[in-house]
């Protein structure tokens, strides 16, 4: 009898432990399940809001998504129309290649297309030598840029991402920050979104045809707007991708993916955000109604709307604080002394500061003109005339 009771109690304890363990796993799990990559993140391109992350700040090898940095530095150099003479060092670069020839002359712009679409390591070295003066000089530029844009856990050692240095790494978060920065550049967006590019071939009358390796862009996901693939034996698969739907622009990054699940992981992350979140006007442009100070009342204004992506349940999670400089007594009589910027707006989401905006002083004349301009735009849209 006692043995039966003892055995029953052991079974009850075991079941209880199992259920507690399952409950713990369930409650800590993200709404986005099935992400097998070691590191992952999905970020809003406009505001930088992170919707989902997994080991996003852990340093990892990044393989050829390194070339996003190489591309944006080349584009910002202003040398895209310059002709590059391909060196022996570039031709000897290991791994993926666009099969450049030593001594070949090719435009820097074509090299950037070969870099982004076909992941040419030879193109990466040719770009680095031309823009940076040497591969080492270009790597210095890469790390300078990384520091400037806030990539705090990143160090570049080459322009292509090959595993030839131990101190070449980044994080999923930092690569999203880099992509957010790069996507502000029109030329980068155009190159990243290209499905195919034709470049001169010195050995043939037929042009080279470079098809983008990013299958999300070319065949798998209709909302894809670009990105960059990567792979080395040590880094495994890495992927950065961008997508846009109904005015929302997203960035997804996965690192150290063991198999070709990264395509579906990115689609899964994008679809979750597109379905669950939408932009909400947190601070509207125009006069700030809450301002009661006699000097500033009806004159303290926000220049443009601030929008933030939220779910339906998050609408009440914002706090907005208006901080105004103390007006001088003379300003009541002489309003020309009032500075253009009279304070700032601080925006908090879930008690965390996410953004600040200047508060402008608008004179009576400026306020009238602003109202008249708005009226003209509304009236113009009614009669089918657009103001330009």
- Which of the residues are catalytic? 64, 67, 119
Please, what is the Cα angle at 307 between 290 and 311, to 5 degrees? 110
Q: What is d(CA 223, CA 245) in angstroms, rounded to the nearest whole number?
A: 6
Q: Are 288 and 351 in contact (CB under 8 A)?
A: no
* CA dihedral over 294, 297, 302, 307, signed as positive or negative: positive
Strand order across the beta sheet in which 248-257 lies: 50-54, 39-44, 248-257, 236-245, 224-232
- DSSP-derived pairing of the beta strands 352-361 and 300-302: antiparallel
Do 373 and 381 touch, CB atoms closer than 8 A? no
Q: What secondary structure letter does DSSP report for 219?
A: I
Residue 356 C-alpha from the chain's centroid? 20
Q: Coil, strand or helix: which one is 160?
A: coil
The H-or-E segment that residue 157 falls in is none
Instruction: For residues 349 and 314, give the distance between their C-alpha atoms in angstroms, rounded to a whole number.
Output: 9
Closest C-alpha to 147, from 121, 167, 170, 131: 170
């Amino acid at each position: 009898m006692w043995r039966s009771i003892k055995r029953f109690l052991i079974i009850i304890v075991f079941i209880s432990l199992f259920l507690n363990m399952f409950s713990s796993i369930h409650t800590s799990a993200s709404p986005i399940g099935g992400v097998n990559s070691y590191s992952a993140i999905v970020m809003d391109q406009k505001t930088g809001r992170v919707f989902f992350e997994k080991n996003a700040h852990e340093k990892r090898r990044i393989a050829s998504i390194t070339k996003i940095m190489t591309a944006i530095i080349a584009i910002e150099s202003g040398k895209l129309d310059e002709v590059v003479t391909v060196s022996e060092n570039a031709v000897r670069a290991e791994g993926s290649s666009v099969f450049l020839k030593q001594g070949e002359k090719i435009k820097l712009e074509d090299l950037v297309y070969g870099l982004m679409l076909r992941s040419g390591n030879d193109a990466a070295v040719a770009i680095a030598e031309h823009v940076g003066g040497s591969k080492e000089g270009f790597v210095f530029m890469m790390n300078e840029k990384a520091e400037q844009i806030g990539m705090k856990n990143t160090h570049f050692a080459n322009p292509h991402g090959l595993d030839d240095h131990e101190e070449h790494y980044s994080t999923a978060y930092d690569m999203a920050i880099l992509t957010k920065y790069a996507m502000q550049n029109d030329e980068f967006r155009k190159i990243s979104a290209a499905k195919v590019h034709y470049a001169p071939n010195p050995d043939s009358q037929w042009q080279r045809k470079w098809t983008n390796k990013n299958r999300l862009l070319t065949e798998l996901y209709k909302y894809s707007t670009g990105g960059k693939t990567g792979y080395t034996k040590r880094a495994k698969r890495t992927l950065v991708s961008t997508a846009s739907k109904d005015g929302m622009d997203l960035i997804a990054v996965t690192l150290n993916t063991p198999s070709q699940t990264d395509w579906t992981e990115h689609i899964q992350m994008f679809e979750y955000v597109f379905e669950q979140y939408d932009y909400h006007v947190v601070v509207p442009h125009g006069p700030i109604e809450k301002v009661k100070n006699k000097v500033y009342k009806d004159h303290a204004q926000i220049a443009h709307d601030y929008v933030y992506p939220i779910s339906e349940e998050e609408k009440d999670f914002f706090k907005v604080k208006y901080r105004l400089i103390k007006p001088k007594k003379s300003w009541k009589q002489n309003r020309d002394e009032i500075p253009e910027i009279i304070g700032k707006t601080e925006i908090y989401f879930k008690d965390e500061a996410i953004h600040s905006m200047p508060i402008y002083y608008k004179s009576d004349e400026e306020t009238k003109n602003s109202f008249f301009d708005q009226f003209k735009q509304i009236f113009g849209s009614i009669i089918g005339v657009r103001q330009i």
